Amino acid sequence: MECRLLHLGAHIAAATLLAMAGGCATFSHTNQPLRAQGEPPAPTRASFQLDGARGNPKVLMFLALSGGGSRAAYLSAATMLKLQTLYPEVDLLDEVDVLSSVSGGSITAALYAASRDASLTSPPLAAVLPPLIAGTPLGQQIRLDTARHTLHCNAPLSARDLALLQAKLPTHAKALRRLDTLCRQAPLKQLRDWEADSVLGLTQRNYLLRWFGNWLWPQNIARCWFTAYDRGDIMAQTLGDNLYGTRLLGGDLRFDELNPTRPFLLVNATTATDQSGPGLAVDEYAFGSVFTFTDEDFRDRLNSDLGRYSLARAVMASSSFPLVFPNHTLQDYRPGALDTYCEKNRDDELKCTDRQYLHVFDGGNSDNLGLKSVKRALFQLEAQGRLDDYDRIVVVLVDAFTRPRGASRLNPDPRGTLGLLLDANVSDAVDALLQNNRGRLIGEFNGARLRWNDGSCEPETRELPSALCRALNDRGRPTLDLSQRLVFYHFGFDDLEAVDRAHAGLKRKLDTIPTSFKLADGDARLLDEAVDIVISPANPCLQQIRSLVLADSATPEAVAHARQVCRRIEGPEVLGR
């Protein structure tokens, strides 16, 4: 026992000396600058330079995943898994081109983007393929489970083999495209498999307990005392160890390791940096505006390489709820940010530095729905003249929003145990503000007319890149009218009562699920029940979306009808009506 204590003490001392040697700025950030010479980094799947190549190429489909801690993560996962198997003729998740996520929703969005499919369920293909590939090299490459109608693949298909299958099975073009996608994922053995039991288990896992446990590591104790390493860094480490590590070596996954066959990924946070700075204000965004972990925002706002950045840290930044977690810090490597800059602090002391930083926190504070980045993506396509490539735009929002309960009118001291140490009513204050923002955003998408700003491109109010803002203003129209192309489906807990008022009791129970990095078994069952009730084959809106993605083309009248159907099935109390 004495030897173990001495060994532990030596580790603590060594870690402490190492941390102290680095100074207080050590561990403040981990992003790296763009390389000064050579080729620019390859684009990642986290980008606004997106396309609709997944699924029907004439349909651009977005899936927005809201905030809400593990409640949102689990609801998102359960919904995505259900969309995969809802209709036998189409995998609706496979049709999604872009994922936009906030806070808890980012947990699941990043998990999907950094995973691979282990198999493909396709009864028609499983029935016709065996006689074609039996006794051929393809028979060794593609393994079929005829009892479960599933296919497994151990290597990418050659162009010749794919063309041969397409020629022999012309009526199975969509299924063969999905088979090709499955086979292209075979070399990505370092990624986790996207499987129902594993995904639901990971999104329900108690990360708070694991977070507390990671505080006890000697190196973390030393870092927290003597460097800028903080609670958020430990939670990022926890998420990396449990969710976003490579399967073979356990290292943290980076953005340049995302599955290239997955949707584009937009992980959203909120800008928390003041705008007083040396000569960079023209390129800055308003305090409280959205910051995305994308190639564009890393390059233009930081001169930094997103490809080498940790996926877990981006998810943590998106989930850094104020009061619980501190701001997430990124170094600004732009040339103007590396000059010596001096200003007086609040004590009238002159402070100088040759480095500047961008600070961000929970994405829910700027947009808890992930819809602002969907708007930005659509505006970008419009400004580039590429939006007309798509005659159908589908936006599905999975919303884990619960009605704020506030303080009980029957309780003279509503603080609770936690309130003895800190004022937890900050959460109620944030919820009150978010209700107004969410109502406006949902209203825009319901009406299929999206506003980009109020005519101002000034840094104090601007939320879009300055060049994009100016390009949109030059068009002379304050809105983007998508009434002939856009279908918006907002799935939230209010939908339960829209299906049947007998589900009002279930909705009340769902509203009591807290926002946290853990989820009780009973709460997970409630969420499963909600998904089974609403995300069903009989859902009229999902039936319309199925028809739209299966059709080779669609008239504006068909799109308008689908939008009206989707609006009618939402709960009567949905904000933004």
Q: β-strand 59-65 against 392-398: which pairing, if any? A: parallel
Q: In whole angstroms, how far apart are CA 47 and each of 20, 113, 255, 375, 474?
A: 38, 13, 11, 14, 24
Q: Which amino acid is at 2?
A: E
Q: Which two tokens stand for residue 488?
A: 């918006």
Query: Tokens 């305090």 correspond to what residue?
Result: 287
Distances (CA, A) of 514 to 44, 104, 317, 404, 511: 34, 12, 20, 11, 8
Among 491, 490, 486, 489, smallest CA distance to 559 is for: 486
Cα–Cα dist 249/269, whole Å:
29
d(CA 8, CA 19): 16
What phi, psi does 345 have (nearest 5°)?
-85, -175
Pairing of strands 486-491, 392-398: parallel
Distances (CA, A) of 408 to 307, 414, 514, 549: 48, 7, 16, 47
Q: Which of 311, 123, 7 is CA-nearest to residue 15?
A: 7
Q: If you count them, how many residues does the chain have?
A: 577
Q: How far is CA 342 from the centre of its chain?
A: 37
Beta-bridged to residue 304, according to DSSP, are 33
Rounded distance between C-alpha atoms, residue 256 and residue 444, angstroms: 34
The amino acid present at 209, given as its one-letter code, is L
For the annotated catalytic residues, the residue numbers are: 103, 362
